[in-house]
Amino acid sequence: MTEWNKDIELARKMMPFIDRIYGEIFNPQFIIRMSGAEIPHPLDQYFGIDGWIELKSGCIITFQETIRRYEAYKKYNDFTIEHWSNVPLKRKGDWFHIAAEFYFYGYVNKEETMIIDWHIVRLFSLKLWVTENWSKFRKRIEKNKKHSRADFLYFSWEELPKEFILKEARDK
């Protein structure tokens, strides 16, 4: 199994934990995810929307989700978002087209049996802040050395303004 497929499997395994978190925060009528299809859903492919939650009021909020492994938690414990999906070809990544309203970002324990640290990031606020301070952030784009031609913007959790975090549970 490729590294990418292992990451997808881990994300699927963690969905019940994420759903419980969404339940506590949003009290949704339902949660819809567009993952798992052979052909990517256009909302995911073109707008970086992994799914949506319908609130009791009938309003819909959209989300993107990432689950990272324990090793990344111990080594980095940061928030990353794809910048270019293919650097040599200058294919725009999530940073350019993500239209989800929030980003669920979580880390799993060493045994990969539960989420130990998670954050819900308000994407609109983050995108405006980075755009207004682009000269500072453009210097910290990192190439993915693992399994793609992508590069990523990264941020420490401490540097993100608190108002950008809707909710979080930090492992202390």
* pLDDT tens figures, 37-90: 677 889 988 999 999 999 999 999 999 999 999 999 999 999 999 999 888 899
Residue 172 near residue 29, CB atoms below 8 Å:
no
Strand positions, DSSP E, the chain = 30-33, 51-54, 60-68, 78-82, 84-86, 91-92, 102-108, 115-122, 141-143, 151-156, 165-169
Summarised one tens digit per residue, pLDDT across range 94-132 is: 999 999 999 999 999 999 999 999 999 999 999 999 999
pTM higher than 0.85? yes
Q: Please tell me the distance from the alpha carbon of residue 76 to that of residue 153, in angstroms, as a whole number.
A: 13
Residue 5 backbone dihedrals phi, psi, to 5 degrees: -65, -35
Residue 19 near residue 38, CB atoms below 8 Å:
no
